[in-house]
Structure formats: C-alpha cells, structure tokens
A and B are shown apart, each in its own frame.
Chain A
Amino acid sequence: MTVIPNPLALIAEITHRCPLHCVYCSNPIELASIKQELATEDWVRVFNEAAQMGMLHLHLTGGEPLARPDLKTLVGAAHGAGLYANLITSGIGLSEGLLESLVSSGLDHIQLSFQDANEQNANWIAGAKSHARKIALAEGIRRFKVAFTVNLVVHRQNLDQIEEMISFIEQMKPDRMEIAHTQYYGWALKNRDSLLPTREQVDRCTEAVGKAQERLAGRIRIDCVVPDYYARYPKACMGGWGRRLMLVDPMGKVLPCHAAAVIPGMWFDNVREHSLEWIWSESSAFRKFRGEEWMPEPCRSCDRRKEDFGGCRCQAFLLTGNASATDPVCQLSPDHDLIERALHRTDPNTTEIHWEYRQNPK
C-alpha cells in the first residue's frame, strides 16, 4: 500500500451566488442553488476536519463568499481550527465595518479582484457596475492588519493596457499583485475566441511584468505565469491530481479541482456522508488520476511526468473528449494542433463581441 501524503490546503466554494457575471468565471456551467448549499455547521465541521488532517490554508471562495451571511462565523471557525484564512472576493458587499469584523474574527488574507483599470471596460467584462465600488473599498483595506493581494485577470481585451493596469494596482499598495492569464474552463471556454490573447500581447505582458517586478521589489510581489496555451509544456494543474488540494463545492461535493465535474462518469463523494480524510484516501474521484497508472504516451515515458503530472485532466477532456489524454497544450501531445488552431483564430481585429455572461444559480 502506498501512503498518500495529506493535502496542504482546502478550497471552500461556499456559494455560487455572485453579483458579478465575469465572462471568464471559473465556476462550472451547472451552478449550485442557495437551497442546495451546505449549512454553517457543515462547513465548521469540514474546517475542523481539514485542520486535523494537517491542512494549513483555507481559501474561501465562490461565487462571491460575501453572499453568505454567516461568513464571519466561518472565518472565526477556520481561525479557531488553526487554518490560515484567505478570502477571495470581488469586494461587492464588503463594507469597512464587515471587513473589520472579519479581520477581528481571524481573517489573515484578502484577495480582491479587478477586471481592468478602466471603469467602462471593467464593468463590460464583469457584466455589472462594480468597478467604482471596488476602488472605494480598496482604499480602506490598508488600515486593517491583513495581507492584501490584488488579482487581475488578463486576456485579449485588456492586455494592451498592461502597464496602465499595473500602475492602477500599485496605487492600492497591496503586498501582492497577481496578473492571472485567463484559463479556459467553464465560462471562459465559451468566450475563448474573444479572450485568447495574441503572442505579441503575451510577450509584451511578460516584459512589462518583469520591469515592474524590478521596480517594485521589496514593496509589491508580482506573480504572473505564462498562459498554458502559449507554453511549451502543461502546467502542474493543482500540483497534481489528488496530491495537494481538495475543493468542496457549495453542495458539499468534494473535487480534486474547480472543473473536475465536467469529466463524465465521475462520482464525487459528499462531506454530508463522509469525512474529508476518507474522501481523500478512498473516493474514486481522487484516486482516478492519482499517480501514473492512467498515463498514456507520451507522458508515461516522459521525464517531465513528475513535474507536470501530465497536465490538466479537465482541459484534456474539454479539448479532446478524453480525460486520460495528454494535456493538448503540451507540444508533445498528439492533439497539440487543437491549440494551434485555437490560437490561429485570435484575430485582434475582430470588432463584434458577443459575450456569454456567467449566469447566477436558479
């Protein structure tokens, strides 16, 4: 029997409700409704189980976690269990009073998302008038004793303004800045043709980020990873399937990643019926692509398999129809032409865009 090391972090998608409708949302297309959501006491139990398994970080996300009226209780429970509590938020619904009570309940880190530096563009991507309210909130965050990250998702429609966006974020004085290239799952995949950047945009972004990293060293840490469609090899998605992370969705289903529900034939066990520890070691979903037995060639004999674990299973399924295929972003994949063809369609002169905005759960 092989001993599976315990996971490091828990991602808690506490609700799928959200006031924003971002065109690149990573939530599944099938969203959980409020009636299906776990109760406060279920989450509290899950957080305690996570801490007992040795998990260190808890990422509270959604949807918009602030849509849950019990968020303060959940943060307090996470802190009480010894977890490092991170809130991933659009900021909509967060007043300074609420932030103060979350921080006093033990919130360690807040990650605030922006869609653009320009208000009109930001609201166009979010499908909601949210930009001005986010700015108002950001101005007050530094008064609280909490780590502060600003996250900006980039894509073809905003990458030409990368320098302006970096300066815009810099003014908020966060500890960290995350320039996140769009990843093509869920809603983003539906809108891929209008979101995929050009090679020139990606190169210019990398250069601008490099300069900013040098200039802001010691003040703001900037993270930015080359988008996998433009990389030579796949990303080690989630640090490998069932190796480091567990995600609990609003209904209590436990997944190895945000998107795993797209893979047909999978069964996800629920925290209402099983402990996290049991699910980690026994559930069929976590065992499915753990290790190397499932791997096809060219992964099976590739030296990189211990670094990238064959790439992303969900992306493999979404693009090839086979979840056990090599991630097609890998240049060694027999399906790599799917990526080449998608990139070929990135025509920067397209003028008419018809977004498919993220819906809210019914």
Chain B
Amino acid sequence: MTPPGDSSQPRLAAGCRWGTNPNEPAVLFPEGMIRLEGTGQKILELCDGQRTFAEIISALTARYMLADQKRIREDVSKFLEELNSKRIIDY
C-alpha cells in the first residue's frame, strides 16, 4: 500500500459521500459511516479531488497555526492511508 504523494489529489471514493444531516457531519460508505468532527472533518473537507496533498498540508498548518509540519504530514498521511485501505478515499 502506498501513502499519498505531494501531488496526489485525495477525494472521496466512488459511492462514498457526506451525510445529509448538517448537525452530524459524517461520511457514508457501503458498509457503514464515520462520524467526523474537528480535524478529521476538516481534512476530509479539503479532500475535494482538486487540492493536492501538499496543498492540504499547507492549509491545515495555516489553519491550526502549527509549526511542526512534519508531524502533521505524518498524521494526515496515516489517516488518508487508513481510509484508502477501507476504500473510502482515493488518491
């Protein structure tokens, strides 16, 4: 399995989508759903198939005013790789 590269453009995989209840942000997929809040929600919102992985990292670094970009990169990469193995995210 490969982690996302800088130029990868992560997006929700076919048939995975946001739920319709605005009070409970969640991504629905064939066998279930993940409720999202905070950072997880923000990351997936940025995975629009347009932004590159590098752009997503910059956006998150700026938003959370965090200095440790290496750490963010590792965490987000792991998160997306996990969702990729569940066929929820493509990149």
A218 x B84 contact (CB < 8 A):
yes
Is the CB of A221 closer than 8 A to any CB of chain B? yes
- The count of residues in chain B whose C-beta lies closer than 8 Å to any C-beta of chain A is 22
Residue ID in chain A nearest B15 by CB atoms? A147
Residues of B within 8 A of A220 (CB): 87
Most chain A CB atoms below 10 A, which of B14, B17, B33, B85: B14
Select which of A56, A82, A175, A217 is within 8 A of B15 by beta carbon. Answer: A175
Taking CB atoms, residues of chain A closer than 8 Å to B32 are 57
Q: Given A176-B30, A218-B2, answer yes or no on A56-B14 (Cβ-Cβ < 8 Å).
A: no
Q: Is the CB of B19 within 8 A of A146?
A: no
A49, CB-defined interface residue at 8 Å? no
Residue pair A218, B17 in contact (C-beta under 8 Å): no
In the complex the two chains form, is B15's CB within 8 Å of A108's CB? Answer: yes
Total inter-chain residue pairs, C-beta < 8 Å: 57
B29 contacts the other chain (CB 8 A): yes
Asked if residues B2 and A56 are in contact (CB atoms below 8 Å), the reply is no
CB-based contact A57/B14 at 8 Å: no
CB distance from A225 to the nearest CB of B (A): 12
Residue of B with least CB distance to A107: B15
| A56 engages B30 (CB within 8 Å) | no
The B19-76 residues at the A interface (CB cut-off 8 A) are 19-21, 26, 28-33
Q: Are A82 and B84 in contact (CB under 8 A)?
A: no
The docked-state distance in angstroms from the alpha carbon of A223 to that of B31 is: 11
A147 touches B19 (CB 8 A): no
Chain A residues near B31 (CB-CB < 8 A): 176, 223
A89 contacts partner chain B, Cβ-Cβ < 8 Å: no
The residue that A175 contacts in the complex, of B1, B14, B17, B21, with Cβ under 8 A, is: B14
Residue of B nearest to A141 (CB): B14
| A102 to B: closest C-beta gap in Å | 12
Taking CB atoms, residues of chain B closer than 8 Å to A232 are: none
- A176 and B14 contact, Cβ closer than 8 Å, known pairs A56-B28, A111-B30, A217-B1: no
Q: Which of A56, A86, A111, A175 contacts B13 (CB 8 A)?
A: A175
Residues of A within 8 Å of B81, CB to CB, are: 218
Cross-chain contact B87 with A109 (CB below 8 angstroms): no
A84 touches B28 (CB 8 A): yes
**Interface check A148, CB cutoff 8 A:** yes
Query: Cβ of A82 and Cβ of B14 under 8 Å apart?
Result: no
Residue contact B30 to A86, C-beta cutoff 8 Å: yes
Closest beta carbon of chain A to B19's beta carbon, Å: 7
Q: With A and B bound together, what is the CA distance between A146 and B86 in angstroms? A: 16
Q: Does A315 contact B (CB under 8 A)?
A: no
A287 to chain B, nearest CB (A): 26
- With A108-B28, A175-B87, A218-B85 known as contacts, the answer to whether A147 contacts B14 (CB < 8 A) is yes
Contact A148 B15 (CB under 8 A): yes
Alpha-carbon gap, A220 to B32, bound state (A): 17
Is residue A345 within 8 Å, beta carbon to beta carbon, of the partner chain? no
Q: Is A149 engaged at the interface, CB distance under 8 Å to the other chain? A: yes
Q: Are B21 and A82 in contact (CB under 8 A)?
A: yes
Q: Does A204 contact B (CB under 8 A)?
A: no
A-B pairs with beta carbons under 8 Å apart, 16 shown:
A56-B28, A57-B32, A108-B15, A108-B30, A109-B15, A147-B29, A147-B30, A149-B30, A175-B87, A176-B31, A217-B85, A218-B2, A218-B81, A218-B84, A221-B87, A223-B31
